Amino acid sequence: MKTNRMPTPGLSLGCDYNPEQWSPDVWREDAALMREAGVDLVAVNIFGWSNLEPAPGQYHFDDLDEVVELMHANGIRVNLGTGTSSPPPWLTTLHPEVLPAAADGTLRYPGGRQAWCPSSAVFRDRAYALVRQVAERYGDHPAVALWHVSNELGCHNALCYCEESAEAFRSWLRRRYGKIETLNEAWGTSFWSQRYGDWAEVNPPRLALSLRNPAQIVDFHRFSSDELLDYYRGEAEILRGHSTVPVTTNFMVTAHIRNLDYWSWAPEMDLIANDHYLDHRLGDPVAELSFAADLTRGLAQGRPWMLMEQAAGAVNWQPHNVTKAPGELIRNTLTHVARGADSICFFQWRASAQGAEKFHSALLPHAGTDTVAWREVLKLSATLDRIEEVAGTTVESDVALLFSWESWWSAEGEARPSQAVEYLDQVHAAHRALRELGVTVDVVSPEADLSGYRLVVVPCLYMVGDLAAVRIADYVQGGGHLLVTFFSGIVDERDRIRLGGYPGAFRDVLGVTAEEFVPLKPGDLLNMTNGGTGSLWSERLRTTTASPVVSYVDGPLPGTAALTRNEFGGGVAWYLATSPDPRSMREIMRNVTVNADISRTGPESNGSVEAVRRSGENGSYLFVINHGTEAVEYPVTGFDLVTGEPVESLLRVEGGGVSVVREERA
Amino acid sequence: MKTNRMPTPGLSLGCDYNPEQWSPDVWREDAALMREAGVDLVAVNIFGWSNLEPAPGQYHFDDLDEVVELMHANGIRVNLGTGTSSPPPWLTTLHPEVLPAAADGTLRYPGGRQAWCPSSAVFRDRAYALVRQVAERYGDHPAVALWHVSNELGCHNALCYCEESAEAFRSWLRRRYGKIETLNEAWGTSFWSQRYGDWAEVNPPRLALSLRNPAQIVDFHRFSSDELLDYYRGEAEILRGHSTVPVTTNFMVTAHIRNLDYWSWAPEMDLIANDHYLDHRLGDPVAELSFAADLTRGLAQGRPWMLMEQAAGAVNWQPHNVTKAPGELIRNTLTHVARGADSICFFQWRASAQGAEKFHSALLPHAGTDTVAWREVLKLSATLDRIEEVAGTTVESDVALLFSWESWWSAEGEARPSQAVEYLDQVHAAHRALRELGVTVDVVSPEADLSGYRLVVVPCLYMVGDLAAVRIADYVQGGGHLLVTFFSGIVDERDRIRLGGYPGAFRDVLGVTAEEFVPLKPGDLLNMTNGGTGSLWSERLRTTTASPVVSYVDGPLPGTAALTRNEFGGGVAWYLATSPDPRSMREIMRNVTVNADISRTGPESNGSVEAVRRSGENGSYLFVINHGTEAVEYPVTGFDLVTGEPVESLLRVEGGGVSVVREERA
Amino acid sequence: MKTNRMPTPGLSLGCDYNPEQWSPDVWREDAALMREAGVDLVAVNIFGWSNLEPAPGQYHFDDLDEVVELMHANGIRVNLGTGTSSPPPWLTTLHPEVLPAAADGTLRYPGGRQAWCPSSAVFRDRAYALVRQVAERYGDHPAVALWHVSNELGCHNALCYCEESAEAFRSWLRRRYGKIETLNEAWGTSFWSQRYGDWAEVNPPRLALSLRNPAQIVDFHRFSSDELLDYYRGEAEILRGHSTVPVTTNFMVTAHIRNLDYWSWAPEMDLIANDHYLDHRLGDPVAELSFAADLTRGLAQGRPWMLMEQAAGAVNWQPHNVTKAPGELIRNTLTHVARGADSICFFQWRASAQGAEKFHSALLPHAGTDTVAWREVLKLSATLDRIEEVAGTTVESDVALLFSWESWWSAEGEARPSQAVEYLDQVHAAHRALRELGVTVDVVSPEADLSGYRLVVVPCLYMVGDLAAVRIADYVQGGGHLLVTFFSGIVDERDRIRLGGYPGAFRDVLGVTAEEFVPLKPGDLLNMTNGGTGSLWSERLRTTTASPVVSYVDGPLPGTAALTRNEFGGGVAWYLATSPDPRSMREIMRNVTVNADISRTGPESNGSVEAVRRSGENGSYLFVINHGTEAVEYPVTGFDLVTGEPVESLLRVEGGGVSVVREERA
């Protein structure tokens, strides 16, 4: 991150605003209602291209000028989109080569959004031309508080298999490997007669009749992430030439999108912004929200960040679009704030009447302001006002969890020991157990500096480089505590097996060696000596220097260790070789955290309560969010900013309630 | 409909006949067996093209001549196909541009049937040339009783995405909207930067990376329906130039085909003909048969219609092709007759030995005439003879159910509140409840004249135009009763949300406003104050002038109304905001029909019994069909045409039996 | 089969070896470990092309020379691959027309393996040029014991729909049918207007909008199988020009691959080799292994064969890759040997570190030699040494089961009575019942000479030619016993229904006629008079000369026969018209085998025990393999080669154990 400047002081409340969809008299009504709702930051021009440039080179800024002035006149700051997210129809009509290609070579057509190839030179020329116009016109406008490059980059079009992408992939590979023989070694092309004699023979991993080269697939993911980052860089450079306002784009740290490696993106953002929507296809959507917020804070290196989009109610793209119950919006939002968000924005201001998102909720619903939904927005706004003093404070933790997009890509290869093992499930399981114990977690890169942590958790880190492996071992050597879960440390960055027994990168620090993976069929359970069950996975595991802690009592490997503990240098390293039931997972994590002397921020629960502390120069704030129906009590003394009441030694939070306590220093 | 002339007097019994598949000596055996079975109408030349025109412009009519003469000599009338349904191989070899394209741009190839683009100029030229030949040759042949244009138009090829289709779509849009800016408004192209500057930029809704424009999709459905109708018109015009015999084509009013808006087609037919096959993938195939028959009668504006195809036994295209039990063929057939069919035809006469339909049943099975199946056909034929005097009579009803292909297309958009809500399910649920109560229903267009009805049922009419909305309100104002079920009246013809609270088109007449949809996950149930349960859907509903009748007692909205009743002008309007269990649905429908003073035609059942009355100048006929295993009794006096016995005040119909009682006037 | 020469005397133990993936110092370690493990045959150069010919026409044999010499120096024979299995990247870059096309016309790209069209002239030219080089260089090398043409031909690329394939298909059809009118008759092109006027109009059965012509699909399968056989022939001819060593390729007789008709391939092989992997997606993977081994023996005409590939532990391509428990490898391997294998080879020697198969097990695992897996390999090797004297002996059986790839292709057409009826399920059910009874079965072609058998089982032989039908009837006439199961004898080789009642080919011999198929929905069960249940299928069946044996007591056809018995000539013919539960199936098979006086080789079980006898000039060997956990006993006297102990009248085999008893002649 370059600067981390928030667009407004305090906790901003914002939203996407698409005035193109409404008439100017509605704009004025909107401005008045925004003031009523306390909205102080609006994102405009996100999908502006076809309006700003209705024909090639003909720019029309009158409407956008008027909207920006209207916001300014109402004291609302502008998060100004560059408008390049989706090309206008004339562009793909004139230049069909802009269209992205699927893995089978068929094109993907206009009619939705992001119908462009990330490597398209024509697209870049035209998009940058628009950005130049926008930047010149609004670069020093006093209303503009933030630049919003494109929108949700890579949400749909990250992986393009067209010939222009192929050529760009070749250039990227040439830069990465230098010599074709180095690529051959990295990709293991001796296998299945794939040895390349020339760069021109290399292609994206297009649809094949059989299993494709997994190293090629991982590199194509890396390339695709870099290619869009390169595109971002082009826009950002233009903007910075005309403006001193921070530049960013909205990430999608969420369960179902995984194509960009945000660890490489984050350093180029002036601040970190994320879009997050509850995903009701998951077993525990709220736990995923907490994880995503912690990961976003990790991308922001612990500093405050923006929630650039969330939904006031239901979304429209899930199979069954569950709406929010009264109170849920405040709980969800304060979960983000507790975990570091200093800006809370929504998609979108006014529910669309037309288009593919007309059933997506908004701050102002189709039914207008005489609605429960609108009153919930006003309540949220008032709550944010009351807790505004938390802005700028940060979250501290003794525990780091290592997260890796590269492992996500590579651990879910086409042919692997078990397709039931999914990376994010394993990461979520570890995070959820810590959250249930009331422990706050930093989610960091595998190559992060670990020296400040008492415990490092490494779930399913399938791909790990030498540097990270050494750093993790050194961390334990120096007294740190480590928990590694199965299918970690299996391959290096080339997706090459670390030979000699699994987990190759961590055998020494863990004091174990696994001869063989013994995955289970879905539904099969292993009973364990701790009274719990394991599923999905086991290993023919031998301890070398470690001690078994929990073992299987049945199944294919009775007596074999499921959990081991190894003293290594000044530290302790645990290895978990199965996927325990959630209760066992929590017990295992309890042992590990107690052993590492980790302090808890809040009460233990089944995940229904979460407590996070934000601290700053002027004191600390304990957020307690009760997602459950029963009241909870927790010892704390201070002043509850939400209720405006003092808290004498014991805080009580009703079912569904939230508290933000400015703690008294003892 | 232009004329509604049935092809023969009385109740004809007919079938498709494909003599091309057999040798001439088999033809003569067939003619004799047809006479034995009472077949008096055969459809020939349905797939005749490659035989009639084996090479471009070389026509060979000898075989068809002989078959037509053979039928004529045996007193069997001919339903003469134009033979254009599937092009011969030489056409797609010479002109591959005739082949249709899928949404991803890939072609669909010959090898099955209907491998042609509906907009293909080459296809039309060649097909019309063949029609001209056929019309000239047989236009005044005395055997010909009906023209059968193509076959099951649009069954497979309705939606073509090729460039010729794109150009035709553009022309259609130009005619519909006049100016590109009108199209932009209609499609809401301000959303996602889709604003068009020129017609040439517009395309069919080809496969995109993300959600497509829903208004574009609906218009593409309209265009596609119109395009095939235009094709039909071309054939019909040629035929009418050479013949005075009625012209039609076989509709597919059924649960799994939905691409043609038959409300726009029906007026151009000389009579309405439908193909119907029991669909054992459905929960209640027989209830769907009844609904389809009622809808077909609606297309015929209440006048008699033809069943152009049904199966004597099993079909071949379902996953498990259930055959018919003895008696089932008569029950199914009389269900069609009861609901207005005056002609009963089959696909096909003789079971094919080769080709993709060789496992489809026929009147004459592979095993020949010493079979249960053949004897069932003879029984059916005798039964039709006995009830022949019902021909020409019509069905009367106090209840109209509004049905809309446009709502079917649009309500099932790519992104909607719940993908578990399917249009036809909701329509069927309403129809089934009325049928179980013994109430006869007319299924009519949303723009039909409602003045003759005491009750109008509007299930899930998602898309409704202003005219229909006003007409429905006026109908209630004038004293009518109305029941609207959820997800009705949501959008106008442009798929644009009717703002201000749902259901926008019906808020006033129903006296309610819904702030928000609250769809349920599959399997979730809401208990209601009437002892029943709701599923799939609920709404944050406020009554304005209506009274709540049934409310939820648990779930996300306890105390909120699930069913409301509103007095509006001289009438009454009910709103049902959830999907009740079938028993509750029947109870709710009982209240509504009793309230509207609707008379019943037959006994109440779980759907196993159906009773429908056909009436004419010479009296009335009560059809009672017992699909169940237990006998039923029903008070009626008259003469049972099926048994040839008088009925004294109480009709008894055994399990599996049928009766058609010529009623005595009291 | 031309010669059936095994590559080595005795029971060879072999493996694929891919030295390209490792450095020369690893090669030397490998050779030493191979000796330790008793490996005496290695397959090399299977995927050698891109290494041998890194650029067009530039050949580099140094590495292969060194490896062949290393093997030779260590007394290990070489199974030499021609290296053509997958083309190098330069070939598809220079000649993209080599790429295969899917049914929708899209290409399939390099990146995996087998990305070549079987009809590609360019591919053949280049591949044969390489084969010539390899054959010339190694044709008389003393280490070479076997030629291994390509690899798993047709595993992925058997069906190609490109234009070059279309042209080859046309030529094949011209050769098969001579006149276009003969093709029209064979394919039934009168149906759906598909009559061809010229060969140029004919195409592969590419993706269509509707059901395709089933005869065209079956012929395309035949063509595709022949086309690869033709390709094989080209390689074999070159090899035979330079070498006297036997030539073969590895078949894939397994549950999930079905594109080659190995009955037509087998006669052209110098010995029969098969690849077999346990498929844990099946209900009973071990029963499938036994069946596949019997079928492979059938392809070898009863003579010994090679197991060219199996896995030491888990594979990598199933959803959940279950590994082998200790002992399982020996049990599986001895099941192959018992059923005729004289050579046991593995994929592969050393587990790959890179590429799509890096998670596939190998003889030498990633974790090295200090592993349970390696010790299991050594145990297996020792066991094979102890039983080596069985080499060259053969298996004898009184029972033949007819198996047909043509029926597999055609019985699973796009539109059929029930998609739940799958060919292989029905074949497996019959084989499993015989295996449970301890009966050994030969699996033979429908056109095999049946005269030596006492019982012939014909499961689901949907397609049967006149010759085979006559031969089967003659066999019964002459005193043989026959069991036919449902959906047999339905069509001739043209996929044309045999008219007059089902099963048309077998009505007379069975003494029944079925008027109609009455398939059941999944989950529906019919109770039968034998106390068992039928599922999936029933028929409206009449006996003519047969007697009913078992009938239904409920369902749609109470009282109708499910099993019939007919005396025909000097023999007996049974017909089974449903799919019985496994216990009933075993009871029915017990009756049939007792009636036919079939002797058992081993004890009856639920499939957990299998016993097979191999015999030769010098005596007989009884293999007893106990897959269960309980010990079994069986009366036999002799010497157990596995334990090295005499067996006195009663053999006891512990749970999980194996015995091979050299039997004493009584």
Out of C48, C354, C360, whose CB is closest to A188?
Answer: C354
Residues 253-292 of A with CB under 8 A from B: 280
Q: How far apart are CA C471 and CA C469, in angstroms?
A: 5
Residues sharing a CB contact under 8 Å with residue C454, sequence separation 6 or more, in sequence order = C398, C399, C480, C481, C596, C597, C598
Q: What is the DSSP string of A583-625?
A: HHHHHHHHHHHHHTTPPPSS---SSSEEEEEEEETTEEEEEEE
Whether B428 and chain C come into contact, CB under 8 Å, resolves to: no
Whether B81 and chain C come into contact, CB under 8 Å, resolves to: no
pLDDT of residue C1: 55
Residues sharing a CB contact under 8 Å with residue A405, sequence separation 6 or more, in sequence order = A221, A225, A258, A260, A261, A262, A263
Residue indicated by tokens 């599986």: C332
Q: Decide: B242 and B206 in contact? Cβ < 8 Å.
A: no
Shortest CA gap A22–chain B (Å):
9
- Using CA coordinates, name the residue in chain C closest to B313: C516
Chains that touch A (3 or more CB pairs under 8 A): B, C
Instruction: Give how far Cα C257 sits from Cα of A244, A446, B6, C157, C656, Å.
Output: 63, 42, 54, 11, 29
pLDDT in tens, A206-257: 999 999 999 999 999 999 999 999 999 999 999 999 999 999 999 999 999 9
pLDDT of residue A2: 58
Contact C209 B112 (CB under 8 A): yes
Shortest CA gap C656–chain A (Å):
14
pLDDT in tens, C554-584: 999 999 999 999 999 999 999 999 999 999 9
Contact B110 C516 (CB under 8 A): no
Q: Which listed residue (B53, B235, B288, B309) is catalytic? A: B309
For strand C533-535 and strand A77-81, is the pairing parallel, antiparallel, or unpaired? Answer: unpaired
Query: With bands split at pLDDT 50, 70 and 90, how would you rate the model's confidence at A5?
Result: confident
Residues sharing a CB contact under 8 Å with residue B228, sequence separation 6 or more, in sequence order = B118, B153, B154, B158, B260
Q: Decide: C378 and C330 in contact? Cβ < 8 Å.
A: no
Dihedral Cα B145, B150, B152, B158, nearest 10 deg: -150
pLDDT in tens, B291-329: 999 999 999 999 999 999 999 999 999 999 999 999 999
A contact test, residue of C21, C109, C280 with most A CBs within 10 A: C109
Q: At what angle do helices A214-242 and A163-177 cross, to 10 degrees?
A: 90
Residues 151-190 of B with CB under 8 A from A: 187-190
Shortest CA gap C371–chain A (Å):
6
Q: How far apart are CA B439 and CA B586, in angstroms?
A: 11
SS3 B250: strand
Q: Which residues of B touch C520 (CB under 8 A)?
A: 320
Q: Decide: A537 and A562 in contact? Cβ < 8 Å.
A: no
Residue indicated by tokens 């030493």: C32
Number of H helices, E strands in chain B: 17, 29
Whether A371 and chain C come into contact, CB under 8 Å, resolves to: no
For strand A638-640 and strand A645-647, is the pairing parallel, antiparallel, or unpaired? Answer: antiparallel
Contact B54 C195 (CB under 8 A): yes
Contact B415 A356 (CB under 8 A): yes
Out of A194, A212, A516, whose CB is closest to C313?
Answer: A516
- How much helix, strand and coil, in percent to the nearest 5, is found in chain B? 35, 20, 45
Q: How far apart are CA C415 and CA A142, in angstroms?
A: 69
Q: Decide: B489 and B509 in contact? Cβ < 8 Å.
A: no
pLDDT of residue C5: 81
Contact A111 B213 (CB under 8 A): yes
Helix H or strand E segment including A660 = strand A658-663
**What value does the mean pLDDT of chain A take?**
97
Cis peptide, bond prior to residue B301, ω within 30 of zero? no
Is the pLDDT at A1 greater than 60? The verdict is no
Sign of CA dihedral A94, A98, A102, A103: positive
The HSE-up count of residue C494 (CA atoms within 13 Å, CB side) is: 18
Q: Which residues of C touch A416 (CB under 8 A)?
A: 316, 321, 359
In DSSP terms, which residues pair with C640 in a beta bridge? C645, C661
Residue indicated by tokens 């006469």: B349
| DSSP designation for B241 | T
Out of A198, A500, A516, whose CB is closest to C323?
Answer: A516
pLDDT in tens, C480-505: 999 999 999 999 999 999 999 999 99
- Average pLDDT (B264-278) is 98
Is the pLDDT at A579 greater than 70? The verdict is yes
- Average pLDDT (B550-559) is 97
Pick from A179, A482, A155, A430: nearest CA to A294: A430
Shortest CA gap C339–chain A (Å):
28
Sign of CA dihedral A406, A411, A414, A415: positive
B contact test, residue of A49, A50, A162 with most B CBs within 10 A: A50
Q: How far apart are CA B359 and CA B354, in angstroms?
A: 9
Longest dimension (CA), chain A: 75
Q: Would residue C309 show up in a list of annotated catalytic residues for this protein?
A: yes
Strand order in the sheet with A250-251: A247-248, A144-148, A77-81, A41-44, A12-16, A341-346, A305-309, A273-275, A250-251
**What value does the mean pLDDT of chain B take?**
97
pLDDT of residue C4: 72
For strand B12-16 and strand B341-346, is the pairing parallel, antiparallel, or unpaired? Answer: parallel
The three-state (H, E, C) secondary structure of A94-130, written as one string: HCHHHCCECCCCCECCCCCCCCCCCCCHHHHHHHHHH
Whether A106 and chain B come into contact, CB under 8 Å, resolves to: yes
Q: Which residues of A touch B210 (CB under 8 A)?
A: 112-114, 155-156, 356
Q: Which residues of A touch C107 (CB under 8 A)?
A: 104-105
- Residue A486's CB is within 10 A of a number of other CB atoms, namely 29
Instruction: Give how far Cα B100 sits from Cα of B157, B206, C112, C207, Å.
Output: 7, 13, 31, 11
Q: How far apart are CA B419 and CA C20, in angstroms?
A: 52
Q: What is the DSSP string of B274-324?
A: EE----TTSS-HHHHHHHHHHHHHHHTTTS-EEEEE--SS--SSSSB---P
Tokens of A618: 């002027």
- Average pLDDT (B593-610) is 96
Instruction: Give how far Cα A530 sits from Cα of A265, A552, A562, C18, Å.
Output: 43, 9, 10, 44
pLDDT of residue B5: 81
Shortest CA gap B48–chain C (Å):
6
Contact C113 A418 (CB under 8 A): no
* CA-derived radius of gyration, chain A: 26
- Using CA coordinates, name the residue in chain A closest to C280: A521
Catalytic residues of A: 152, 309
pLDDT in tens, C614-646: 999 989 999 999 999 999 999 999 999 999 999
pLDDT in tens, B452-472: 999 999 999 999 999 999 999
Q: Which residues of B touch A365 (CB under 8 A)?
A: 515-516
Is the pLDDT at A29 greater than 60? The verdict is yes
Residues of chain C with confidence (pLDDT) below 70: 1-3, 666
Is the pLDDT at B352 greater than 90? The verdict is yes
SS3 C632: strand
Tokens of C159: 């069906």
Q: Decide: B196 and A89 in contact? Cβ < 8 Å.
A: yes
Pick from A473, A427, A390: nearest CA to A661: A390
Share of chain B above pLDDT 90, in %: 98
Q: How far apart are CA C64 and CA A213, in angstroms?
A: 24
SS3 A530: coil
pTM: 0.97
Q: Which listed residue (C53, C164, C235, C309) is catalytic? A: C309
Whether C192 and chain A come into contact, CB under 8 Å, resolves to: no
Cis peptide, bond prior to residue C419, ω within 30 of zero? no
- Using CA coordinates, name the residue in chain B closest to C541: B371
Whether C47 and chain A come into contact, CB under 8 Å, resolves to: yes
Shortest CA gap C469–chain B (Å):
18
Is the pLDDT at A666 greater than 90? The verdict is no
Contact B86 C190 (CB under 8 A): no
A contact test, residue of B191, B219, B490, B579 with most A CBs within 10 A: B191
Q: Which residues of A touch B202 (CB under 8 A)?
A: 89
Contact A212 C48 (CB under 8 A): no
Q: Which residues of C touch B49 (CB under 8 A)?
A: 193
Whether A594 and chain C come into contact, CB under 8 Å, resolves to: no
Q: What angle (nearest 5°) sits at the alpha carbon of residue B614, between those of residues B610 and B618?
A: 150
Pick from C610, C598, C394, C343: nearest CA to C480: C598
Shortest CA gap A109–chain C (Å):
17
Q: Hey, what amino acid is at C322?
A: V
Burial of B451 (0-12, 13-18, 19+ CB in 10 A): exposed
Q: Would residue C515 show up in a list of annotated catalytic residues for this protein?
A: no
Q: Which listed residue (C53, C152, C539, C610) is catalytic? A: C152
In DSSP terms, which residues pair with B395 in a beta bridge? B614
Whether C105 and chain A come into contact, CB under 8 Å, resolves to: no
Residues 338-357 of C with CB under 8 A from A: 351-357
Query: With bands split at pLDDT 50, 70 and 90, how would you rate the model's confidence at A555?
Result: very high
Share of chain A above pLDDT 70, in %: 99
Residue indicated by tokens 């009449």: C542
| DSSP designation for B456 | E
Q: Which residues of C touch B18 (CB under 8 A)?
A: 190-191
- Using CA coordinates, name the residue in chain A closest to B542: A371
Q: Which residues of B touch A83 (CB under 8 A)?
A: 193
pLDDT in tens, A295-348: 999 999 999 999 999 999 999 999 999 999 999 999 999 999 999 999 999 999
Longest dimension (CA), chain B: 75
